[in-house]
Amino acid sequence: MAISKTNPGTEINVTVIGDSVRVQGTLSGDEDLHVLGRVDGRIELNRTLVVAPTGIVKAEVMVKNAVISGVVVGNIHASESVEITREGRMVGDVYSPRVIIVDGACFRGSIDMGDTASMAGRQSGNERSSSAPSTRPLSSSSSSSPTPSRFSSPPSAPPPPAWSPAPTSAWVNSAPVSPPVVASVVIAAVDEQQSDDVETLEAAEHEQEPEQEIDQGRLPTDPPQARGFSQKSNKARVIVKRK
């Protein structure tokens, strides 16, 4: 049966869908959800979804974190992280800044972690971690903005599809637990940008273009760290200018 319980010592509620329970429809809430049975439809949570090894989820999933040890068929949008464990099996697309796939897990689908820049900012112990803003707001606001890949020639993959923090920022912000550093940077950047005028944004994009071309010329000899840093600092300058 489905039960709601409070873990001793913590304030976090956990709802458990027992292994004989099947839910069809939309499941939404503000507490952790452990699925041992089956859920068909849609799951919207501000917290963590755990699909146990016996659990089957055939749904469109919007959560903060997802840990998959069972079967998931459908797309997952996670504002923080998705982990597919050794027993996990998933078919569908994942949109999340952090995705972990453990050896033994099975996965078929596409993964989008957003831009390379937000990844660089997430690495702890990195000297540019605090100063690197995400470029995702720029790329989501304009199709002409350059793909912020570390490669200077464009990769075959198209610019990031549909998912951007903008549509989901409402429920991200409403989450009582504060998101990780990078996530908050992203949200801050979005907010700034929304109150900004388009001209500044276009200027910022033009500013980036010459640097990309220079990169192309000196690709073979430049250490990637140096190039990555110069791009980061350029983006940092853009943000400061907008303030």
Partner 1 sequence: MADQPCIIGRGISIKGILAGSEPLIIEGAVEGHIVLKEHLTIKETGRIIANVEVESLLVYGSVSGSIEARDLVSLSAEASVVADIRAPRVVIADGAHFRGRIEMDVRLPPGL
Q: Under the rule (CB under 8 A), what is the footprint of partner 1?
A: 56, 58, 71, 73, 81, 89-91, 98-104, 106-114, 116, 119, 122-123, 149-151, 153, 155-157, 160, 219-221, 223-224
| Choice between 98 and 128, CB closer to partner 1 | 98
Q: From the CB of 33, what's the least distance to partner 1, in Å?
A: 20
The minimum distance between CB 100 and partner 1, in angstroms, equals 5
DSSP string, 22-88: EEEEEEEESSEEEESSEEEEEEEESSEEEE-TT-EEEEEEEEEEEEESSEEES-EEEEEEEEE-TT-
Distance CA 68, CA 87 (A): 8
Task: Please report how close the Cβ of residue 104 comes to partner 1 at its closest, in angstroms.
Answer: 8
Q: Which is nearer to partner 1, 116 or 234 (CB)?
A: 116
Residue 168: phi, psi to the nearest 5? Answer: -95, -5
In this complex, which beta carbon is closest to partner 1, that of residue 155 or of residue 210?
155
User: What is the distance between the alpha carbons of residues 109 and 122, in angstroms, rounded to a whole number?
Assistant: 24
Specify the residue, 12 or 219, whose C-beta has the smaller distance to partner 1: 219
Q: Minimal distance in Å, beta carbon 113 to partner 1?
A: 5
CB 19 within 8 A of CB 34: no
